[in-house]
Amino acid sequence: MTFYLEGDLGAGKTTLVRGLLRALGHEGRVKSPTYTLAEIYSLPAFEVYHFDLYRMHDPREWLDAGFRDISDGRAVSLIEWPEKAAGWLPPPDVIIRLTIADEAREIECEAASLRGAHYLESFCTLC
Ligand SMILES: Nc1ncnc2c1ncn2[C@@H]1O[C@H](COP(=O)(O)OP(=O)(O)OP(=O)(O)O)[C@@H](O)[C@H]1O
Ligand SMILES: [Mg+2]
């Protein structure tokens, strides 16, 4: 599954990833991959790749870093600033848009594939 995380600087993308990883059982630190571009978490069920592409200057850096090879079917990729590598990334299953609303945040989730639609449906029945 590939999630694009969209929203302005400070919209809460990394904070959301932190919450997701904690909910999935990760107990260690969750660093923002602002400088490393990627952080990898090996969870019992699957691997999570957290990308922050804000500092990428050229979309081809995505290929040069070898990221294309790790975006395989079993992993979950959470990508901040996907627009920085537009055209090179795996297509999204779900697009999450965050906007600042004073002290809080608004979140909008859009299914961008059949798999993403199934995911959001099952997620919504839990709400
Ligand atoms: N849901 C929320 N409610 C209130 N404050 C939040 C929420 N999410 C994030 N924040 C606060 O907003 C600030 C920025 O959050 P965060 O670093 O997650 O943003 P970001 O979208 O990842 O930014 P960047 O584009 O720079 O990577 C932090 O101080 C964080 O505590
Ligand atoms: Mg961030």
Q: How far is the CA of 57 from the centre of ligand 1 (A)?
A: 23
Q: Give the closest residue (by CA) to ligand 1 atom 11.
A: 12
Predicted local distance difference test score (pLDDT) of residue 52: 97
Q: How far is the CA of 93 from the centre of ligand 1 (A)?
A: 23
How far is the C-alpha of 48 from the C-alpha of 59, rounded, in Å?
A: 21
pLDDT greater than 80 at residue 101: yes
- Would you place residue 1 in the very low, low, confident or very high pLDDT band (cuts 50, 70, 90)? very high
Domains belonging to the chain, first-starting first, are: 2-126 (3.40.50.300)
- Taking the CA of residue 5 as reference, the ligand 1 atom at the shortest distance is 21
Q: Give the closest residue (by CA) to ligand 1 atom 23.
A: 10
The pTM assigned to this predicted structure is 0.94
